[in-house]
Amino acid sequence: MRIVDLADELGFDNLWTTEHHVTPYGMIPNPLTFLSFVAGRTQNLGVGTSVMVLPWWQQPLRAAEEIAMVDTFLRGRELTIGVGRGIAKSEYDALGVDRSQGRERFREALDIIRLALREESFSYDGEHYQVSQTSMRPRPVHADRIIDNMVGAFTSGDSLQMMADAGLGMMFTGGKPLEACAEDVALFNAARRQRGLEPTKPIVVNFTLCTDSKTNADIGRKSFSRLSAEIGWHYKMGDAAQFEGVKGYESYLQQAKEAAGKSITAFGRVDDLVLAGNPDEIIARLQPLLTSLAAKEVQFQFLFADIPLDLAESSIKLFAKEVMPMVKELEVPLSEELSGMSVV
């Protein structure tokens, strides 16, 4: 809560949270419950999910109800719903959901959430979810804004296409070097164009330690390396047996086979995803990142792995004073290439 309070006081735009289950890797099983608390505790922050894993919600109508509650508590502040379909076998198994149904459950859950938010009365008859004719209460205050601002997270080409086909915006939660992310922005927007949708800018995640101490900057890099290894362990990215025969996860199976016998981490080059250094160094790194992707927002994660809380707090304060003004002022238009116009 100390981080939440600081973010609210120092002028950050949004606070984001994840959804994870049954392991120490992430300990917020319901992001909307947490964000309801944040909405009531703060005065200025918008909030977002990074991400809600839709196949894990046994009844998507409940998810829509909770989204409407958070929207009400925010009193006009921004709510961005990021969604995904999940990867980890351990989480799918613990929740009793067949991972091979993940893609279909994702699509149906998204349909129901959109209907519940937008329509006064609706019904739904899908393969995995059914809703009899009903009206949701409470009604969201900003239904159209919530639906229009929804974003999808992806790391595979199949998921990229699925999110674009669903009319979602895009969110990069890590896992690829900068050049690959730029290629994905162009591919995503090309897919949107094929559906008659306007191109969009991505939301990007970065792990950040802003400090004038070289020793502390090294702590940040080492902590990120440990986090990367932990995520690789959590998702079992190098274990082909985790993905063998699982419909919709063929690309992960191929990645796991290619990684066999190698040291497994979740990310490629550490320098692409961790910003550790003094304010000038971070600005020098941030500017090309923002311009090469035309990012509309960056999620800066200050508290990760074993970073001490006091160090994270000092990092946030220095960042807000020396770096954030540049981030807020920089507006990068989508290039023709990133708009997907050059993709054939």
pLDDT digit string, tens, across residues 214-230 = 999 999 999 998 888 88
The DSSP annotation for 173-229 comes to -SSS-HHHHHHHHHHHHHHHHHTTPPP-PPEEEEEEEE-S-HHHHHHHHHHHHHHHH
* Least trusted range by pLDDT, from 17-31, 44-58, 114-128, 248-262: 248-262
Q: What is the pLDDT of residue 175?
A: 65
- Position 267 confidence tier, pLDDT thresholds 50, 70, 90: very low
Residue 341's pLDDT is: 80
Task: Check residue 343 and give its pLDDT.
Answer: 66
Q: Is the pLDDT of residue 161 over 70?
A: yes
d(CA 109, CA 84): 11
Average pLDDT of span 56-78: 98
- The span from the CA of 338 to the CA of 341, in Å, is 8
What span, in angstroms and rounded, lies between the C-alpha atoms of 250 and 114? 28
Supply the pLDDT for residue 232.
Answer: 83
Alpha carbon distance 65, 190 (integer Å):
33
Which position has the higher pLDDT, 229 or 19? 19
Q: Is the pLDDT of residue 271 over 80?
A: no
79-136 pLDDT, tens digit per residue, is 999 999 999 999 999 999 999 999 999 999 999 999 999 999 999 999 999 999 999 9
What DSSP letter does each residue of 25-75 carry, written as one string?
T---S-HHHHHHHHHHH-SS-EEEEEEEEGGG-S-HHHHHHHHHHHHHHHT
In the predicted structure, residue 272 carries a pLDDT above the cut 80: no
pLDDT at 268 > cutoff 60:
no
Q: Residue 192 contacts by C-beta under 8 Å, 6 or more apart in sequence?
A: 164, 167, 198, 199, 200, 340
Of residues 156 and 12, which shows the higher confidence score?
12
| Choice among 35-44, 99-108, 251-260, 293-302 with the minimum mean pLDDT | 251-260
Exposure on the CB side of residue 55, measured as CA atoms within 13 A: 25
* Residue 33 binned pLDDT confidence (cut-offs 50, 70, 90): very high
pTM of the entire structure? 0.94
Which pLDDT value is given to residue 220?
94
Per the prediction, the chain carries an average pLDDT of 92
Range picked from 175-184, 210-219, 247-256 for highest mean pLDDT: 210-219
Question: For residue 266, what pLDDT is reported?
Answer: 46
pLDDT at 36: 98
Ranking 44-58, 173-187, 286-300 by mean pLDDT, the lowest is 173-187
Return the pLDDT at 126: 98
Q: Is the model's pLDDT at 265 over the cut of 90? A: no
Whether 77 contacts 47, CB under 8 Å: yes
CB-based contact 89:99 (threshold 8 Å): yes
Average the pLDDT over 48-58 and give the result: 97
The Cβ of residue 158 has, within 10 Å, a number of other Cβ atoms equal to 16
